[in-house]
A = this chain, B = another copy of it.
Amino acid sequence: MSKRMVVLGGDATGMSAASTALRHAGDGELEVVVLERGHYTSYSACGIPYWISGHVPDRDQLIARSPGEHREAGIDVRMRTEATAIDLEKRTVSVRGVDDGDTYELGFDELVIATGAVPTVPPLEGADAQGIFGVQSLEQGEEIVKDLADGDRRRAVVVGAGYIGVEMAEAMVVRGIETTVVEHAPEPFTQVDPDMGALIREAMEGMGITVITGTSADGFDVGEDGRVTAVRAGDTVLPADIVIMGLGVKPNAALAADAGLTIGPSGGIVTDVRMQAAPGVWAGGDCVEVRHRLSGAGVHIALGTHANKHGRIIGTNIAGGYGAFPGVIGTAISKVCDLEIGRSGLTEREAAAAGFGYVATSVESTTTAGYWPGAEMMTVKVLAEQRTGRLLGAQIVGRQGSGKRIDVFATAIWNGMTVEEMTFMDLSYAPPFSPVWDAVLVAARKAAKEVQGEIPASPV
């Protein structure tokens, strides 16, 4: 007898869960229904800034699979359709058509909650003016692209200097728009430590971006036509033809909370390692919290790569297999023009908050042999636990070719390596690819010295 899998949200986690489960289920064993509030399925939200910048010319390039393609694969995708309630007892979902308002009840055997995240929007005066945009959905991306095409937008203000903030700053600069970024923290990009953030500020300023820090956006000036004309930030008035809000996101977990599922301190739905929130109820992606392997804490990290993993794990489990999510270590990468930013593990603030005693060191290195014509500079910061020397975190800020080295640190953190163990690791070397001592090794060595002293003592 066929069982019904109902999926709330048709993006990374939801569609990946649906596809994986259906692929592994026996013929006719599984009926899969996906409810998606928006107009699109399976698209790369992370790619939106690059569509706006023009790097990616066509919106459809961001769409991995359309509703029609999913239907051809046997998935009952219902677009512009949302769930308004979950009844865990009756095992039903209340469904509503976004456009027509029609409602009905839908029973499920397995439920996947993949409702994503919602943007953090402070209640600022004038925030509903025209010309102010978020960048969470493809629909919002479309609005920005249309708006930029519609008129002469000479000055952009980006509120928030995190991932979306810096990526949208790049997009604006690439489009030739005079760009100002406003960030309430002392340095941009609080996903790295302030000393690394200062390097990002310097580089962004070198690209012609005005970076205003230690200042919050307080409100917006609005013209008679209802369109934003400026961002007010402290004593400053920043004229703006367009405003991008990049203040981050929080889990969209209200439906799950109302149904009685456990919500963690991060605001995300709590699941077990198999991404199960209650018997037969699964949750993944931007609406859940996951375990940080270093701090042990539940954290909310909205990233497509985790969302896709969750979807595959959920689909595997629903199909009768075994999938378990091993947690996260906070790895991420971004760029502003040719400046690359990578991080993994804990920053100083995060390490201190988790209770770790640590040493922190930074080194400068080149991406290739110093004499190689394409050599670029990078700064690598490493945190190691005091006494044990266990690698707790790494941050990279550098030019082209530096950022992806963060994956080496990520793999080392994943395995609980000490910086001393890393010092003589067999990493690849040839002049076009790294100095004879790769930056990873140099940083590990300096951190090991901090932990153990300049010259390791003889044991004999």
Residues of A at the B interface (CB closer than 8 Å) are 12, 24, 44, 46-47, 50, 55-56, 61-62, 163, 303-306, 308-309, 313, 316-317, 319-323, 325-335, 340, 342, 344, 369, 371-373, 403-408, 410-412, 414-415, 417, 421, 424-434, 436-438, 440, 454-460
Contact = CB atoms under 8 A, between A and B. Distances in A.
Q: How many copies are assembled?
A: 2
Given A326-B424, A329-B426, 13 more contacts: A12-B436, A44-B369, A47-B372, A47-B431, A50-B372, A56-B371, A56-B372, A309-B424, A334-B430, A335-B430, A342-B428, A411-B411, A415-B417
Contact of A456 (B322, B369, B412): B322
A369 B305 CA distance: 12
Contact of A458 (B305, B320, B330): B320
A62 B430 contact: no
In the complex, which of the residues A340, A373, A411 has the most CB atoms of chain B within 10 Å of its own CB atom?
Answer: A411
A129 to B, nearest CB: 30
Given A412-B411, A424-B326, A455-B24, A47 B369 contact: yes
Given A373-B55, A417-B415, A426-B329, A455 B47 contact: no
Nearest to A414: B425
Question: 5 closest A-B pairs (Cβ-Cβ)?
Answer: A333-B428, A415-B415, A61-B371, A305-B429, A411-B411
Contact of A436 (B308, B320, B323, B429): B308
A428 B410 contact: yes
Contacts of A303: 429
A331 B426 CA distance: 6
A458 B61 CA distance: 37
Contacts of A24: 454-455
In the complex, which of the residues A316, A369, A428, A454 has the most CB atoms of chain B within 10 Å of its own CB atom?
Answer: A428
A321 to B, nearest CB: 4
Contacts of A430: 46, 163, 332-335
A54 to B, nearest CB: 10
A323 B456 contact: yes
A332 B427 CA distance: 7
A407 B12 CA distance: 28
Contacts of A344: 426, 428
Contacts of A424: 309, 313, 325-326
A436 B304 contact: yes
Given A404-B405, A407-B438, A408-B411, A458 B321 contact: yes
A398 to B, nearest CB: 13
Contacts of A426: 305-306, 327-331, 344, 410, 414
A335 B432 contact: yes
A305 B441 CA distance: 11
A407 B436 contact: no
A459 B274 CA distance: 12
Contacts of A433: 333, 335, 340, 403-404
Given A415-B411, A431-B46, A456 B325 contact: no
